[in-house]
Amino acid sequence: MWHDTAPPAPSRPPLPGTHDADVVVVGAGYTGLWTAYSLAVADPSLRIVVVEAEQVGHGASGRNGGWCSALFPASLPSLAAAAGRDAALAQHRAMRATVDEVARTAAAEGIDCHLAKGGTVVVARNRAQWGRARAEVAAARTWDRGEDDLRLLDAREATGVLRASGTVGATYTPDCAAIHPARLVRGLADACERHGVTIHESTRVTAIEPGRARTAAGDVRADVVVRATEGYTPLLPGQRRAVVPVYSLMIATEPLPQAVWDEIGLARRETFSDHRHLVIYGQRTADDRLAFGGRGAPYHLGSRVSPAFDRDERVFAGLYATLVDLFPVLAGTRVTHAWGGPLGIARDWCASVGLDRRTGLAWAGGYVGDGVATTNLAGRTLRDLVLGHDTDLVRLPWVGHHSPAWEPEPLRWLGINAGLRATRLADAEESLTRRPSLLARATAPLLG
Ligand SMILES: Cc1cc2nc3c(=O)[nH]c(=O)nc-3n(C[C@H](O)[C@H](O)[C@H](O)COP(=O)(O)OP(=O)(O)OC[C@H]3O[C@@H](n4cnc5c(N)ncnc54)[C@H](O)[C@@H]3O)c2cc1C
């Protein structure tokens, strides 16, 4: 849907043969392109090459829900446990600022990615969800996060933003912009090229080594090699257990008439979810469709990634049923597109970015479902690391963080799929009992 509703993209030639550069970036999603862009703007003399196996935006960057948010996959308590309270709060502040940084750069580069900073509303639709909403706001206050950061909305305020069925209240944060993902990734690639970056498509990197990225056509030799392959990382030699590819799937409706939007709300294109355990997410697109997604697709043994996994009719049907349950006015509405893609999850659910000065190998990833803004922070951070600039960005706690490796199979498969199943059952239990799930409490370590 995103690629269907974006202007046509140019096709870029594959790598013609062995080539020398200063920096080679593997992967032309947001991570790779924000990194190349930030470096090229900071030092126009650098020779920067981006190598992409398919086309610009082929991965999650061209397929996502378009929440450009301040969400970071690791919680404040877990960041604080590793790096201290001040460092955890610095990460949170950096994420909030990044949402505006994406908007600023998009405007400066003339990237029309349909950005609307309406914030995010997360509704509570039963007593258990309402308890979690209140607990989340109470916890935020203990981190000095005030009303300007996260607010509790009563039922009247909540339904003034989003009229989801059964709403008893909501949380609201202003720190999110709805975007058109493919327009952002394609616009970013064009901006990179305007700043002198070379992008090669249809060129798969077969190995990343100090000083080179290997491809069938030849090597790109460079002092710095940046791995920006996120959910596809396990396919690279030596990276099988670095992150797991977990699929998130989406559907989109046809453009909806104003009368339907009068029933639903989202007048400022707020992104939305509810406080269930399984992640769901939605946005009103600039052309008035409802784009809606969720996790819950199975993890595939051996961290396999395949176009066949982008579609799962059972999950699509479940998403449609959830959408109609949230907004009964949508019953019978036509779904025009359905798709999915892999995101990357590190074993400790903490995204990370870093550069090993000894080998020149750099990486960023493990964003779970929160990569749209975080990749921009990663790109600016890699810029400072590569250029040796001692900035606030390179002192954030996720910099140089090494997540443990995932378990070998079949333990990995058993654990992840048991977690997904427990999540679904916990939501079903809560919608029946309206009370906090006992199962969720018992299986908390699996729920991530
Ligand atoms: C359905 C879905 C919904 C999502 N919704 C949201 C959301 O609303 N908000 C949010 O913040 N995040 C969301 N995410 C996550 C977000 O999209 C990602 O975190 C982000 O796009 C990651 O960007 P990336 O550049 O690191 O990875 P990707 O965009 O996956 O890019 C990696 C690129 O590397 C290329 N590549 C891989 N291997 C090789 C190789 N060997 N050689 C050359 N190239 C290679 C791939 O083809 C791909 O283009 C969602 C993800 C999915 C799948």
Length of the chain: 448
67 lines ligand 1 (CB under 6 A): yes
Long-range contacts (CB closer than 8 Å, 24 or more residues apart) made by 142-148 = 143/76, 143/88, 143/89, 143/92, 144/89, 145/92, 148/174
User: Residue 444: what pLDDT?
Assistant: 58
Is the model's pLDDT at 447 over the cut of 80? no
Please say whether the dihedral angle defined by the alpha carbons of residues 159, 161, 163 and 168, taken in this order, is positive or negative: negative
The strand pair at 151-154 and 169-173 is best described as antiparallel
pTM of the model: 0.96
Ligand 1 atom 35 nearest Cα: 27
Burial of 104 (0-12, 13-18, 19+ CB in 10 A): exposed
Give percent of the chain above pLDDT 70.
98
Distances 313 to 2, 300, 419 between C-alpha atoms, Å: 20, 16, 21
What is residue 423's predicted lDDT score, i.e. its pLDDT?
81
User: Which residue shows structure tokens 């810029």?
Assistant: 383
- The tens digit of pLDDT for each residue in 385-432 reads 999 999 999 999 999 999 999 999 998 888 888 888 888 788 877 777
Q: How far is the CA of 436 from the centre of ligand 1 (A)?
A: 33
Average pLDDT over the chain, rounded to an integer: 95
Per-residue model confidence (pLDDT) at position 432 = 73
Question: Residue 108 is encoded by which pair of tokens?
Answer: 């400066």
User: Which ligand 1 atom sits nearest the alpha carbon of residue 374?
Assistant: 11
Cα 32 to ligand 1 centre (Å): 10
For the record, the structure tokens of 324 come out as 């109609």
* pLDDT in the model for residue 443: 60
Residue 371 contacts residue 379 (beta carbons within 8 Å): no
Q: Which atom of ligand 1 is nearest to the CA of 378?
A: 26
**What are the phi and psi torsion angles at 316 (to 5°)?**
-60, -45
What CA–CA distance (Å, rounded) separates 38 from 376?
9
> Minimum mean pLDDT among 8-17, 62-71, 237-246, 294-303: which range?
294-303
Nearest to 122 by CA among 324, 272, 276, 4: 272
Q: For ligand 1, is residue 60 a contact (CB within 6 Å)?
A: yes
Phi, psi of 51 (to 5 degrees): -115, 125
Q: How confident is the model at residue 86 (pLDDT cuts 50, 70, 90)?
A: very high
Pocket test for ligand 1, best of 278, 343, 353 (most atoms within 8 A of CB): 343
Contact 169, 130 (CB under 8 A): yes
* Cis ω for the linkage preceding 410 (within 30 of 0): yes
Tell me, what amino acid is at 39?
L
Residue range 113-121: average pLDDT?
Answer: 98
> What is the SS3 assignment for 263-281?
HHECCCCCEEEECCCCCEE
Q: State residue 279's pLDDT score.
A: 86
Q: Is the CB of 88 under 6 A from ligand 1?
A: no
In angstroms, rounded to a whole number, what is the distance separating the alpha carbons of residues 361 and 208?
A: 8
195 residue type, one letter: H
Contact 193, 41 (CB under 8 A): no
Task: Locate all alpha helices (DSSP H) within 237-307, ordered by sequence.
Answer: 258-264
Q: Is the CB of 326 within 6 Å of ligand 1?
A: no
Displacement of CA 7 from its chain's centroid (Å): 23
Q: How far is CA 164 from the centre of its chain?
A: 24
Instruction: Confirm or reject: Cβ of 187 under 6 Å from ligand 1.
Output: no
Say what the pLDDT of residue 441 is.
Answer: 66
